[in-house]
Amino acid sequence: MSETDRSRLSHKIRYATRNPRRIPPYARRLARDAWLRLKTRDHVSYYRAVMKSDATKSPERAVGSKSHDRWLALGKMQFDYLVGHGLEPRDRMLEIGCGNLRAGWRFIDYLDTGGYYGLDISPDILIAAQETIKEHGLQAKMPHLTPVRDLRFAFLPDGAFTVAHAHSVFSHSPIGVIEECFSHIGRVLAPGGFFDFTFDRTEGAEHHVLREDFYYRTETLIGLADKHGLAAQFMADWEELRHKQSKIRVTHGG
């Protein structure tokens, strides 16, 4: 959590003075992102292009892990947390923004055959996800991996999932994308099901950096969930794991 507004020029100058070696990669990212924004018509197309560019170099880096060890550890953290919260092999899980299955391969291994359904806007990262399934010998678990253009879940049946999960997805999403998800997730969640997501939390002004990283106040997301008939709860025990993002759990309201 932070109160820093990373989009402010004063923050950027202070940060650059303290971290001069980060200036060239930041400048490259700035130029790349400006070019991709010019070429694309909406946020999802833009972020899909960001993922294409990143996944071509390294799928593990594209999902935010600087090394294979970090990739494994971050996936384990997500998996252990959900199992600690009662995830069972018979659950049916929807993973929104599944990436290259950093946590997904563990869920696939644990859940009964066919119990895992991963969605992502990036075909490139889904190809990398297929590699992960092969590397971990999980073909027989028959996981579903599907590219999507939006978060309406129109092709999925009512009440299909007991658990939905989105790790480090809303941290890259403008509020319209999150609201689209909130307005449709209730339909595909089974009675008693829950949806966990992480977000970059700020206690200051909400802002974004390069339209890649978005910072929200907890009450904004809880209020938005409520508007769509969902009950939202801040997960304080996730904070104990000292991950840089925070977590909210959403269930059917009332």
Ligand X SMILES: C[S@@+](CC[C@H](N)C(=O)[O-])C[C@H]1O[C@@H](n2cnc3c(N)ncnc32)[C@H](O)[C@@H]1O
Q: Does 120 bind ligand X (CB under 6 A)?
A: yes
Task: Measure Cα distances from 232 to 54, 207, 219 in Å.
Answer: 32, 22, 10
In three-state secondary structure terms, 205 is coil
Q: Which is nearer to ligand X, 173 or 202 (CB)?
A: 173
Distance CA 192, CA 161 (A): 10
Q: Residues binding ligand X: what is the number (CB under 6 A)?
A: 24
Q: According to CB under 6 A, which one of 122, 132, 162, 246 is a site residue for ligand X?
A: 122
36 near ligand X (CB under 6 A):
no
Smallest CA-to-CA distance from 172 within 31, 72, 62, 76 is with: 62
Distance of CA 121 to the CA centre of its chain: 11
Nearer to ligand X, 13 or 103 (CB): 103
Among 106, 141, 167, 201, binds ligand X (CB under 6 A): 167
Is residue 117 a contact residue for ligand X (CB under 6 A)? no
**Torsion region of 229: left, alpha or beta (phi above 0 gives left; psi -120 to 50 gives alpha):** left
For residue 248, state whether it binds ligand X (rule: CB under 6 A). Answer: no
Q: What is the DSSP letter of 199?
A: E
Q: Give the footprint of ligand X on residues 215-234 (CB under 6 A).
A: none
**Under rule CB under 6 A, residue 129 binds ligand X:** no
Applying CB under 6 A, which part among 81-89, 169-177, 188-196, 244-252 lies near ligand X?
169-177
Q: CA-to-CA distance for 94 and 193, rounded, in angstroms? A: 11
Burial 177-193 (b: 16+ CB within 10 A, else e): bbbbbbbbbbebbbeeb
Estimate to the nearest angstrom the gap between the alpha carbon of 3 and the chain centroid: 22
Measure Cα distances from 197 to 2, 16, 33, 176 in Å: 18, 31, 25, 16
Q: In this chain, which of 36, 44, 163, 188 binds ligand X, going by CB under 6 A?
A: 44
Does residue 106 belong to the site contacting ligand X (CB under 6 A)? Answer: no
Among 33, 36, 46, 47, binds ligand X (CB under 6 A): 47
The least CB distance from residue 122 to ligand X, in Å, is: 4
Residues 77-96: x where in contact with ligand X by CB under 6 A, - otherwise, as a string: -------------------x
Residues of this chain that bind ligand X (CB under 6 A): 44, 47, 51, 63-64, 96-99, 102-103, 119-122, 125, 148, 151, 167-169, 172-173, 177
